[in-house]
Structure 1
Amino acid sequence: MERFIYALLFAMLGTYVHAQNALSGTVTDPRGNTKLFGAEVYFPQLEKGTVTDENGSYELNNLPTGSYKIVISHIGFQTLSKSILITTGNNTYDAQLASSAIEMEEIIVSTPFHKLQRENVMKVERADIKSLKTKGAVTLSDGITNVPGVESVSTGLGIGKPVIRGLSSNRVLVYTQGIRLENQQFGDEHGLGISDAGIESVEVIKGPASLLYGSDAMGGVLYLNPEKFAVANSTEGDLNLNYFSNTEGLNANAGFKTSGEKFKFILRGSTASHTDYHTGDDVTVTNSRFQEHDVKTGIAYQESNFKTELRYNYNYLKLGIPEEIGAQTNERAPLSPFQKIDNHIVSSKTNIFFGASSLETILGYTFNTRKEFEEGEEGAALDMDLATFNYNLLYHLPKWGNWETIVGAQGMHQTNTNFGEEVLIPDATTNDIGFLATSHLHFENNSDLQLGLRYDRRTLSGEENGISGEEGYIAPIDRDFNSVNAAIGYKLEPLKRLTARINLASGFRAPNLAELTSNGVHEGTNRYEIGNADLSNEQNLQTDISLEYKNEHVEFYVNGFYNAVNDYIFIQSNGQTIDGNTVFLYEQQDAKLYGGEIGLHIHPHPLDWLHIESSFEMVTGKLKDDSYLPLIPANALNNTLRTEFTKSNSWLENYYAFVTLKSVFKQDKVSGFELASDGYNLLSLGLGGKTLLFGYPIDIRVSANNILNTDYISHLSRLKTDGIANIGRNINLGISIPL
């Protein structure tokens, strides 16, 4: 299949790479008097851009013919988004940017039409990793909790997985390098397994995204955008160092990238080491230590009508699994039990532009090795290999008036293999294939309609394990699942600066291997879990409504959702025990989740340096019998006072400071085997900016999380049942040095 796709791509390549087209122009202020230096000029579909020089001029070469969207942005000005026609030869486009106190907008990559947020029918949250790092995030899983509506189920500090509006595990899909990240995400103690080094930004789709991504996206998508290649004919490098006081944590990463007119190369390596974390009561949480090493690299080649890139990521994790408070040490090598995880991710993305249409092909291969070592045992008790091949073909049809349409096919071939004595899930093979069509229609009255339809089929074949009739026996399984899903959304501007969105989307999730086949003790949970081979698809229908208002002084938004899930899969005790462990069965029942987010951002003009931000998020989850769903985040209120100065003083420029109070409310709406959680308040602060050190411009930042050293337990902490608190005061010192 892969050889056929590449043969097809290169066969078409020869016809379309001959034209040499260029675009040049100037970028100025509204009156045309001021030439804007450093404005970003970017074609999102082509993934090609540059910046203006001191005269406000720019030039881009090797562009394909056809109509493509150009995005031009500069601090202090409204981002311009416009489709322009590139013809054979030299083209000219001069742009004037309107002044604006609103922060620059970015292109949303996780939706197929690559539009600015204000142009999107579906609202997508976006956050820069650099911004999350200024808030002292230790890991990527920790950082994403700063996005409204997103939390993390954690096992200590090193293990965390995303929760979007109350849904997690196999109900939330993670994408990196343009492909789905597969790493046994069904497990409670299985985190993301990816470093934030080399990740530029994160986008969050909060709701069913099965139309775009298939099974496992019924709860939403966490889309990680990799670091961009350098602009043409430039070379960059940087070194980043971080220290975390609570864990005596050390984190370092360095990157290098260079680009010619056609060839591009990027390389980044990182390493991190942490001792056990301390709670607010200054108790050391034994074996919460972890180590991580990560390498990301890529090459790219770009012609006029053709571009391709190949990326590779290797991530190594050695994670202690905290179970109880034991020896109080500052050792870095994990004790038993601990995990060793290797993740290999290879992806290729190729685009061919035909003038009026284009073809995008994304191929990916991930190989995940997970080993768990128990106390007193030689070798790995749990030893699993997971190999996954992904493909994603999207064809952008020629525009028909204001209609944009994409059709495509996506699929996955996955094998799971066991080598250890402990078997959580059997050796199995999973195959997915899906076909989709989605369209976007722009009306002249600043409103937009988006709709789509998709069909998916999943086949799953698992091998027999153990001896029939004995404890731990897993019967062979051969199941197939089908689903048809649709989505429709409408965006309009009923009043100037007011945007309203309504989206209705269905999603689905095929039951995972653990839910279908489990028959044994799930370590760390003290549960004997028994799967159900007759489980059917989860199917949901979610309605999202959002209102957003922006002007030069204030921004306000309110998002509400109602998510009805048919045949929700959950685990419940049957009152029996096996070898002292309570027996839990996987069952199905209809469920519902509802809630939303409210936010306010005040930035009074002309006090552009002052920002007052507040956000409130809530979600409630219930089964049909009116009992509550497990792992539902507590309601939370965030208040931030932030100052930003772009001008320089005697030694610091582009400097900022902030103070944040996060108030988490009591969570007593819990499932039958959960404990209620008390509310708490966390105070954090930070400051930073750019300065000169030995003639080098460096970024420095200092942040302090939980500055009052509050002793608290998050409702989503898996250590809650043992009464083990979360991390106490943690001061982060960071510097970034361009090389």
Structure 2
Amino acid sequence: MKILPFLLVVLIAIGPYVGFAQQSQNYIVFGTVKGEKGDPLMAHIHIHELGKGAIADIDGNFSIPNLRPGTYHFHFTHLGYRSQTENIRVQSEDVRLSITMLESAITLQSLTIEANPFKNGPVEQSQSIEVIDRDYIEKNNTGTFANALEKLPGISTINTGVGISKPVIRGMSFNRIMVNDRGIKQEGQQWGADHGLEIDPFDVDRVEVIKGPASLIYGSDGMAGVINIAPGALPELGEIRGHVVSSYRSNNAMYGNTAMVEGNEKDVVFKARFTAQDFQDYRVPTDQFNYAGFVLPVYENRLKNTAGKERHFSLMGGVRKDWGKSTLTVSQFSQQAGIFTGAVGIPTAYSLRHNGDNRGIDYPRQDNKHLKIISNTTIQHNRNWLEIDLGYQNNRRLEESLPHAHGVGPTSEGNLALGLYLDTYTANLRYNKHVDDKNQTILGIQSSYMVNNQGGFEFLLPNFTSLQGGIFYFHEYRWKDNFIVNAGLRADGGRHIIQEHLQPIYERLTPTGQFDQRNPDIARTFYNLSGSSGMSWILNTHHNLKLNLGSSFRMPTPIELSTNGIHHGNFRHEIGNADLVSERSYQVDANYSYSKRNFLLGLSPFWGYYQDFIYLAPTGSFSRLPGSSTAWEYRQHNAVFTGGEIKADWIVFPNLSVSFAAEYIYNFNLETRLPLPLTPPLSFLGGVEYKIPNLGQVAQNLFVFLEYRYAAQQNRVDRNERTTDGYQLLEGGLGWRTLLWKQPLKFQLSGQNLTNTFYFNHLSRYRLLNLPEQGRNISLSLKIPIGIKH
């Protein structure tokens, strides 16, 4: 498998020759874009498969030359209008189009959706999908990528302080949701509550969140949903552009800077980015906390040793031709972050006292690096398209602490408590066939190979190798122009080979030469067959009804099969179960949307039955390992998940908008008759925004916003899980664009937890220590766009 990185480069090299071998007559697609009142629009036209497009002129006319015979997916977007998509078939002559776009004051309706594998429009896919762009992420950036998604209904996060977070979809996380970066599944020890998502928040241009069963297209781990991170549109021919963004957060004195440049020279495209963030210990609105019956101090309202620093980079290069496109992306996420001194071992008032250095990163701490090499290629084959995504990932996770705090003495590993080294190789192929105007099909193959090695004086996850693969077939049928149905089948197989682990035994801080078997050799093979079907009924231009039925699956992970050690992230001794079988779910998702020019309403109820649901449960006994408390083990029982989301956007006046979103999740363990752990509470998010388009060169596109979040108390908890009181939060801010010596500048000022509220996030790791979330924070950002060549 070590040959795969070489193959990535080879694919880039041979791509042009694949295209040239299929040379044929080229044609032009041209036409006009108008509004519903007949006024011409300078809309942006983009072809998904080629990554190229055009901008209509002042009369709404556009022309895209050099298109081979085939079927292309066109996007039509224009601010103030609903996005529109068309599948255009080019055969033996030029094609003329006449596009009419409907007005919409709802900003996100101008975004297209690509998560649907057939690349149809937002009303034509059968699943609930949320789409956000670069502007949304910049407006809601709180330091991590996962936290930028929290304002979407149905999305929550599990937090460890303020620099480490992971996404939750409808109450599920870890290995039940999938994060795809440029078509490759992110693999970074995501089973840990204290393991953040290794994604640079500045290097995300577009996100599509699929809520509900997605195993058919994406494979195991997609049973609760998928987060697709897609690159932005490639620059147009001859264009070179970039930007610099600087940000500051007052709560932990975080300084962040990122710089990007991208361009297109004769259809050779490139992009480069570098990001640096440094932050201090963060502040909480309390001066004490309770742990194990003791009241301990929080000096100067700061959590000691929660500072950190990050350094990230990404480089992309490729070609864009009439046969398709091919890019190679190399990126690395690098983070070093302290872990609150009271979160590992037994805290004392002395150990919590500050030494005066709020930026110091002491023990215990995390040191994480995630390297990715991703190749994305789209090749036209006859009139159809072949998509190839190849990836290599190297995840290095180091957890460091002082050995004596864990009942052992000096070790050969030094201060390395836990080292996890994961190499992942991924290959995905999809063949998209446009049969006719009513039928489209996709045949896909996916495979991954993982090698995990561990080190350190602690044990949690053994060495293992894992091979997984699947094949699927998906078909869409347009029964009528306003009624689209789809269905598909998928077959999967996987094998985990887990090595025995013998842990050294210490006595009075000295190794005895004896060993404790933490897990035996384990070899498990899994097979799964799944399927789904869905429909979208477009009643008229205002009403859309969707229904999706799916059977999803998830293979047990090596951590669930074999772990046997102290997981400091959860303050417990976790024990695996080598006899676990695959989870199976049967899910129903519905979505109703009502859309007018100034109003949007969406309702998304869901229900799912989960057979052999895997979860951690307390054994009722204390761990025999030093430095830990109770022992928990992985078990399987049947469970039910249900709930829903509602969202509404209303443009009350041309410059005044009001938004509302709510979500509720109910789950139930059918064996214990109790709720499942880590279930988000009922929550509401309301906002109001006022815009002033033009105040001269001093302030253009000025906006002011205020948001209110209410989270109900969570009393539906699992055995030995603490309840959480409800809370209310207030956030507000403003942003504007200005010109300084003809150079555009974009400012944003915002405040989070403006009332400095003392509250607990039910999904926060530090809630187990009775530590509240961060206090008041003021954020300031400056973006300087740079046009180098046009």
| TM-score, scaled relative to structure 2 | 0.89
CA contact 1:592–1:621 (8 Å) conserved in 2: yes
- Displacement of 1:96 in angstroms is 4.3
Q: Which residue of 2 aligns with 1:553?
A: 598
Are residues 1:485 and 2:491 paired?
no
The one of 195, 209, 216 aligned to 1:211? 216
**Equivalent AA in structure 2 for residue 632 of structure 1:** T
Work out whether 1:584 is the aligned partner of 2:629.
Answer: no
- CA deviation profile, 1:320-349 (whole Å, cap 9, x unmatched): 112428234552231111011111111111
Residue 65 of structure 1 corresponds to which residue in structure 2? Answer: 69
Q: Which deviations, in whole Å up to 9, do the C-alpha atoms of 1:41-66 show, x marking residues without a partner?
A: 11123322232345544443443322
Is 1:121 the counterpart of 2:148 in the alignment?
A: no
Among candidates 533, 544, 555, match of residue 510 of structure 1? 555
Contact 1:361/1:391 (<8 A) preserved = yes
**Conserved? CA contact 1:441–1:449, under 8 Å:** yes
1:201-240 pair list within 5 angstroms: 201-240=206-245
Q: Which amino acid aligns with 1:498?
A: H
Question: Aligned pair count?
Answer: 735
Deviations along 1:181-218, one digit per CA (max 9) or x if unpaired, are 00111112111011111211221111111101111111
Q: Choose from 741, 747, 751 the match for 1:694.
A: 741
Q: Which residue of 2 aligns with 1:303?
A: 321
Say which of 84, 100, 103 aligns to 1:99. Answer: 103
Q: Distance in 1 between matches of 2:481 and 2:27?
A: 34
Match of 2:373 among 343, 346, 353: 346
Q: Identify the residue that residue 426 of structure 1 maps to in structure 2.
A: 462
Aligned to 1:620: 666
Partner of 1:76: 80
Task: Assess if the C-alpha contact under 8 Å between 2:103 and 2:597 holds in 1.
Answer: no
CA distance in 1, matches of 2:437, 2:309: 54
CA deviation map 1:502-550 (0-9, x unaligned): 1111111111111111122222433222211000001111111111101
Q: Secondary structure at the match of 2:175?
A: helix
State the distance in 2 between where 1:659 and 1:472 align.
56
Q: 1:327 aligns with which of 344, 353, 360?
A: 353
Look up the match of 1:563: 608
1:627-648: CA deviations, max 9, x gaps? Answer: 1101100110111011234445
1:658-701 CA-to-partner distances (Å, cap 9, x unmatched) read 10000011001111121100001000111112111232111111
Unpaired segments ≥5 residues, structure 1: none
Measured after TM superposition, the shift of residue 8 of structure 1 is 8.9
Q: Which moved more, 1:90-99 or 1:427-436?
A: 90-99
Asked if 2 retains the 8 angstrom alpha-carbon contact of 1:338 and 1:373, the reply is yes
Structure 2 counterpart of 1:529, from 563, 568, 574: 574
Contact kept? 1:177, 1:311, Cα under 8 Å: no
In the alignment, residue 70 of structure 1 is paired with which amino acid?
F
Is 1:369 matched with 2:405? Answer: no
Q: Is the 8 A contact 1:17 1:304 kept in 2?
A: no
1:267–1:571: structure 2 CA closer, same or farther, 3 Å change rule?
same
Per-residue deviation at 1:40? Answer: 1.1
CA contact (8 A) 2:71 2:384 kept: no
Q: 1:498 to 1:27 in 2, by over 3 A?
A: closer
Structure 2 residue 783 is the aligned partner of structure 1 residue 736: yes
Choose 216-225 or 58-67, whichever is displaced more: 58-67
Match of 2:646 in 1: 598
Q: How has the CA–CA distance of structure 1 residues 272 and 17 changed in structure 2, closer, same or farther, with 3 Å as cutoff? A: farther
- Superposed displacement of residue 15, structure 1: 2.2
Percent identity reads 28
Q: Mapping of 1:168-179 within 5 angstroms?
A: 168-179=173-184
Shift of 1:110: 2.4
**Would you say the 8 A contact 2:697–2:739 is kept in 1?**
no
How far apart, CA to CA, are the structure 2 residues paired with 1:536 and 1:96?
52
Equivalence map 1:444-459=2 (5 Å): 444-459=480-495
- Contact 2:328/2:375 (CA < 8 Å) preserved in 1? yes
Matched, 1:284 2:302: yes
Q: Is the 8 A contact 1:102 1:551 kept in 2?
A: no
Superposed structure 1 runs of 4+ greater than 6 Å apart: 7-11
Task: Report the Cα distance in structure 2 between the residues aligned to 1:19 and 1:472, rounded to whole angstroms.
Answer: 68
Is the contact between residue 284 and residue 774 of structure 2 (CA under 8 Å) also seen in structure 1?
Answer: yes
1:591-645 per-position Cα deviation (integer Å, ceiling 9, x unaligned): 11111111222113xx221111111101012111311101100110111011234
Alpha carbons 2:305, 2:339 under 8 Å: kept: yes
SS of equivalent to 1:629: coil
Is the partner of 1:491 in helix, strand or coil? strand
Work out which of the residue numbers 246, 249, 264 in structure 2 matches 1:241.
246
Q: What does the per-residue CA deviation read over 1:10-29, in whole Å, with 9 as the maximum and x for residues that have no partner?
A: 77434224544444444344
How far apart, in 2, do the equivalents of 1:655 and 1:362 lie?
A: 41
Structure 1 residues 87-96 or 404-413, which shifts more?
87-96
Provide the C-alpha distance between the structure 2 equivalents of 1:230 and 1:648, rounded to a whole number of angstroms: 31
Report which stretch shifted further, 263-272 or 55-64: 55-64
The runs of 5 or more residues in structure 2 that have no matched partner are 287-299, 343-348, 404-409, 505-513
Aligned runs of 1:379-398 on 2, under 5 Å?
379-398=415-434
Contact 1:472–1:519 (CA under 8 A) maintained in structure 2: no
Aligned to 1:662: 709
Q: Aligned AA for 1:613?
A: S
| Shift in Å, 1:118 | 1.9
CA RMSD of aligned residues (A): 2.2
- 7-16 or 697-706, larger mean C-alpha shift: 7-16
Query: Secondary structure of the equivalent of 1:16?
Result: coil
Match of 1:27 among 17, 24, 33: 33
AA partner of residue 441 (structure 1):
Y
Task: State how far apart, in whole Å, the 2-side matches of 1:89 and 1:697 are.
Answer: 44
**Structure-2 change in CA distance of 1:79 and 1:129 (3 Å):** closer
Contact 1:125 1:205 in 2 (8 A): yes
Conserved? CA contact 1:117–1:123, under 8 Å: no
Counterparts of 1:661 and 1:339 in 2: how far apart (Å)?
A: 34
Offset of 1:69 from its aligned partner? 2.5
Worse-matched range after superposition: 557-566 or 416-425:
416-425
Amino acid at match of 1:27: V
Is the CA contact 2:482–2:539 (under 8 Å) kept in the aligned structure 1?
no
Per the alignment, do residues 380 and 64 of structure 1 end up closer, same or farther by CA in structure 2, a change over 3 Å counting? farther
Q: Does 1:45 align with 2:45?
A: no
* Mean Cα deviation higher: 436-445 or 648-657: 648-657
Q: Is the 8 A contact 1:134 1:686 kept in 2?
A: no
Query: Would the alpha carbon gap of residues 526 and 356 (structure 1) be closer, same or farther in structure 2, given more than 3 Å must change?
Result: same
CA distance in 2, matches of 1:152, 1:467: 34
What's the secondary structure of 1:443's corresponding residue?
A: strand
Identify the range of structure 1 (316-325 vs 270-279) with the bigger mean alpha-carbon deviation.
Answer: 316-325
The amino acid of 2:718's aligned partner reads S
CA shift for structure 1 position 363: 0.5
Using the TM superposition, give the Cα deviation of residue 105 of structure 1 relative to its aligned residue in structure 2, in angstroms. Answer: 2.9
Deviations 1:157-195 (A, max 9, x none): 111111110111011111112100001111121110111
Scaled by the length of structure 1, the TM-score of the pair is 0.95
Is 1:198 aligned to 2:203, yes or no?
Answer: yes
Equivalent residues in 2 for 1:630-641 (5 A)?
630-641=677-688
Instruction: String of CA shifts for 1:106-128, please: whole Å, max 9, x gaps.
Output: 22222311223222221211122
CA contact (8 A) 1:255 1:266 kept: yes
Contact 1:136–1:705, Cα closer than 8 Å, also in 2: no
Mapped partners of 1:413, 1:74: distance in 2 = 43
8 Å CA contact 1:323–1:524 kept in 2: the answer is: no
Offset from partner CA, 1:68-95 (integer Å, 9 cap, x none): 2222111123333223233568655454
Asked if the contact 2:48/2:73 (under 8 Å) is kept, the reply is yes
Give the Cα–Cα distance (whole angstroms) in 1 for the partners of residues 585 and 497 of structure 2: 25
- d(CA) in 2 for partners of 1:570, 1:470: 29
CA 1:394/1:440 → structure 2, altered by over 3 Å: closer, same or farther? same
Confirm or deny: 8 A CA contact 2:591 2:604 kept in the other structure. Answer: yes
Q: Pick which of 371-380 and 189-198 moved more.
A: 371-380
